[in-house]
Chain A
Amino acid sequence: MSLSRRDVLRLGGAVLAGASLTPSAVLAQTPKRGGTLSIRTWDPPNFDPFQTISYKTHIALSFTHSRLLKHKAGPGVAPGTFPLEGDLAESWTQPNETTYVFKLRKGVRWHNKPPVNGRELTADDVVFSVNHFLTVKGNANAYMLKAVDKVEAPDKYTVKFTLKEPFVWFLDMLSNPHAVAIVAKEVLDKHGDFKKHETVIGTGPWMLDSYRPNVGLTYVRNPSYFLPGLPYIDRIEATVDEDNASRMAAFLSGKYDLGWEFVGSIARVDWVQIKGTLAQRRPNLKTVEFPSPVMNHISMRTDQKPFSDVRVRRAMSLAIDRKAIIDSAYEGVGVLNPPVAAALKEWAIPFDKLGEGAKYYKYDPAEAKRLLAAAGYPNGFPGTMCFTTYGTPVLVDIMQLVQKDLKAVGIDVKIDQKEYGAYIATCFYGKFESMTFGPQTGFLEPDNFLFGQYYPEELKNQSHINDPVVADMLVRQRRTLEPAKRREIIYDIQRHLAQQQYYVQMPSAVYVAVWEGALKNYAPNMGYDYGGRLMAAWLDR
């Protein structure tokens, strides 16, 4: 079966808005202070944002820590878009291509806990945090600010960054919830690092009141938060709940105010089973649907035969029945991805603008066989595919469908299943013989998707790509400040990549974000910033 242009457009459509989201009505109400919000969370491996990339840690700290900038949140922001606003920074300027100057808010106070005891935050704290982020050993996120040459504090409320080279995504990196959380030097001096929960001291809207390992975290309102009147919610009870049946039962019985999966969603496979019951038991629930930025792909040794032949790569993409994957793995609801995840609606190229390369995303096994024959493989070829389950049966299902589709055109894939740690240590970094199948991190910026995967010698260049055309465009987009022009370059990159098929992209799931109707002025989005999205929300119950 092939996808019609209409199918492609429908499946690739960006936000599938929920019926009950009514921002205008929400804004008309007067916010109420107080109440306890109950959510499901994950037990952080530790609390040091500079020593782990774990979403479990970064979600926990999104309630308690501030950054220089942040992503705007609330019903006015469409999921998949990330407009920037000041967090600790009141304003910022860019005097030249490589200099950024931030003016900090005055009177920002640290949580009233030892050793900082509510002292005022200054530019020195920001400089310390950035330098610690860049220099501490073991910070796997340090690459995000690789462009920074130096950071200085000309005065108490001014922070100046000098970059080694132009990097237009710099502000987006600073806003990203897993970039620099601003921390206090005294805490590091006292504890040696930020791993223990006692070190969770920030300037964010909530303070960590208690941490019970494997049980939960309780946050209480920061009475000295720098935005007057905020946050509205007094207390957040975050429960560690590692079993899906338990989480589902908890949600059905009204324990959680947000969906129990990442970003407050419910997996569609669960959602279709319980939505009828929920309609009766929790009729006030609100929902909104939007695509996940996590996409799976096949990577290949494009530096070796047979994958060095573009006809073979195109044949592989044509062999994949993406519609069948959506139907069987995502309960019929998913989106097709061009080289940048469709979830990033401002940057992913629409399929009708993809040009010649769009045809390689259709399911056409006959054309795939013809291309293989033309490349000298009329009977296909055998190969291995490195794989790990990531603990999710959905990924196993998709892997099996991919194997079946490739087999149908003569590519006989033997799955080389590895344990997660072994997979990350080898195949994830391109150490494999033939092919690898797995998910790509769901980034919030297109640069993270493209540069790491396609620039020569980058660690995550799994397909061993060395394409001067792509490399040149990747550098150019990093130096193009004007968003419209940058978008055009990123579209050009995607057009080129669609033709080349260095990776065969799979469709993504569509999140079903769900929340209690009593939670007002809230809207879900991608990313770890739970605290940011809840900061101005309030409870009407």
Chain B
Amino acid sequence: MLRRYLAKRLLVAVPSLLIASLIVFTLPRLIPGDVVVLMLAEKAYAKDIDELRAKLGLDRPLPVQYVEWLGKVARGDLGESLWTKRPVVEEIGQRLPITSELALLGLAVALIIAIPVGVISAARQDTIADYVARSVAILGLSVPAFWLATLLIVLPAIWWGWRPVTGFVEFSRDPIGHVAQLLLPAAILGIAVGAALMRLTRGMLLEVLRQDYVRTAWAKGLGERVILMKHALRNAVIPVVTLLGTQLPQIIGGTVIIETVFGLPGMSRFLFDAINQRDYPVIQGVNLVVVSLIVLVNLAVDALYAVLDPRIRY
């Protein structure tokens, strides 16, 4: 049944991806100023602009360009960067793992913070521990990641002449250095998401803890740990998993700044540069990959419901 459900969902994803492809193809072209003008910048002569536009194939009607691009996408070819002339698939292939690592580590940090603190906060409702946890969560939600990152980089440099690892260390060169360089950015990335998840975990757990079956468990004389972790948390965590899925775009959005601050050559920074340079094939390619990832993650989240709650069947 689950397999059939997933297949159906994948089919439904196709029109979503088509609509997304149309949007990512059209929107960058609606921004005033185009790639040719930016390439020639301040010294262009009118004939150069037209010639370069023709050379890059940008003088053809938009529908023609779109259909041609879509045909290539269907064959697994996302085109070539207008600036570097390298295949977009190759460029994304180099950068996607870095962004994925960062995003997954960020999610891990968020979960490591959110679940235990949320549980403690709910179990010790209206105690000092609860107040502290909730205050810290609000702080975590309020503090912008770029500001926190800036402080964490600049202050140690001013105080002790030390700064965290920035610049990129490849895994093949130095595996420990590679992971170490991602820890601080992942922590910063995970804090805001962790705070939101913690608040939801607490809220859902409080709701579940008031249900009859939990009262029965208490009456049966089960220990607090068993009630919380085995009976209550499992039911409380389903909305948290949903939120986790919807937080992915936020985390990927957050990586744009974090990758820039920490000098990580990930996909988000690549996209940011591409938007500035109007590198249409790159903008289209990266966005398509991100949209596909989000569709897949949400599908995975749906599948996870059945694992978490055996009553849910597709």
Chain A residues at the B interface, C-beta cutoff of 8 Å: 43, 45-46, 51-54, 137-141, 143, 193, 195-196, 212-216, 239-243, 245-246, 248-250, 252-255, 274, 277, 281, 418-425, 428, 441, 459-460
Contacts and interface: CB of A to CB of B under 8 A. Distances in A.
Nearest to B150: A245
Given A239-B167, A248-B154, 5 more contacts: A193-B85, A195-B83, A214-B265, A215-B263, A420-B33
A138 B48 contact: yes
B85 A195 contact: yes
B32 A246 contact: no
Contacts of A242: 260, 263, 269
Nearest to A239: B167
Interface residues on B, range: 35 or more
For the complex of A and B, 3 pairs with smallest distance between CB atoms: A421-B33, A422-B32, A214-B265
Contacts of B276: 420
Contacts of B44: 140, 459
Nearest to A274: B158
Interface string B127-163: 0000000000000000000000110011011100111
Contacts of B166: 241, 246, 249-250
B33 A213 contact: no
Contacts of A137: 48, 51-52, 55
Given A243-B263, A245-B149, A253-B161, A53 B42 contact: yes
Interface centre among A214, A254, A424, by most chain B C-beta atoms within 10 angstroms, is A214
Given A46-B84, A241-B166, A418-B32, A138 B52 contact: yes
A420 to B, nearest CB: 7
Given A245-B154, A421-B34, A459-B45, A250 B85 contact: no
B43 interface: yes
29 contacts: A138-B51, A143-B43, A195-B83, A196-B86, A212-B168, A213-B265, A214-B265, A214-B273, A215-B167, A215-B168, A241-B167, A241-B263, A243-B263, A245-B149, A246-B163, A246-B262, A248-B154, A249-B163, A249-B166, A250-B163, A253-B161, A281-B161, A420-B276, A421-B32, A421-B278, A424-B38, A428-B42, A441-B42, A460-B42
A215 B158 contact: no
Contacts, number: 145
Given A212-B265, A245-B153, A249-B154, A424 B37 contact: yes
B250 interface: no
Given A253-B163, A422-B32, A51 B262 contact: no
A459 B91 CA distance: 36
B33 to A, nearest CB: 2
Contacts of B255: none
A54 B48 CA distance: 16
Contacts of B260: 242-243
B229 interface: no
Given A249-B156, A249-B163, A422-B32, A140 B40 contact: yes
B41 A53 contact: yes
Nearest to A54: B41
Given A46-B84, A140-B44, A141-B43, A421 B37 contact: yes
A424 B41 contact: yes
Contacts of B43: 53, 140-141, 143, 459
Contacts of B55: 137-138
A248 B154 CA distance: 7
A84 to B, nearest CB: 22
A425 B48 contact: no
B270 interface: yes
A7 to B, nearest CB: 32
A131 to B, nearest CB: 17
Nearest to B56: A138
B39 interface: yes
Contacts of A422: 31-33
B201 interface: no
Nearest to A52: B39
Contacts of B261: 243, 245-246
A202 to B, nearest CB: 19
B290 to A, nearest CB: 18
Nearest to A254: B161
B121 interface: no
A61 B269 CA distance: 24
Contacts of B83: 45-46, 52, 195
Contacts of A241: 166-167, 263
B94 interface: yes
B277 interface: yes
Contacts of B150: 243, 245
Nearest to A139: B48
Interface in B210-247: none
Contacts of B52: 137-138
B144 to A, nearest CB: 13
Contacts of A214: 95, 168, 263-265, 269-270, 273
Contacts of A46: 83-85
A138 B45 CA distance: 9
A240 B263 contact: yes
Contacts of B265: 212-215
B172 to A, nearest CB: 12
Nearest to B168: A215
Contacts of A53: 40-43
Contacts of A196: 84-86
Contacts of A195: 83-85
Contacts of B39: 51-52, 138, 140
Interface centre among A245, A255, A281, A425, by most chain B C-beta atoms within 10 angstroms, is A245
B181 to A, nearest CB: 11
Nearest to B169: A215
A330 B207 CA distance: 58
B33 A45 contact: no
B21 to A, nearest CB: 23
A59 to B, nearest CB: 15
Nearest to B51: A137
B309 to A, nearest CB: 43
A243 B150 CA distance: 9
A421 B32 CA distance: 7
Contact of B33 (A193, A243, A250, A423): A423
Nearest to A192: B85
A138 B277 CA distance: 16
Contacts of B33: 419-425
A253 B163 CA distance: 7
Interface string B262-302: 11110001100100111000000000000000000000000
Contacts of A45: 83-84, 277
A78 to B, nearest CB: 27
Contacts of B167: 215-216, 239, 241
A196 B265 CA distance: 18
B159 to A, nearest CB: 9
Nearest to B54: A137
A281 B158 CA distance: 9
A348 to B, nearest CB: 21
Nearest to B278: A421
A257 B84 CA distance: 29
Interface centre among A239, A242, A419, by most chain B C-beta atoms within 10 angstroms, is A242
Contact of B163 (A51, A212, A252): A252
A460 B44 CA distance: 10
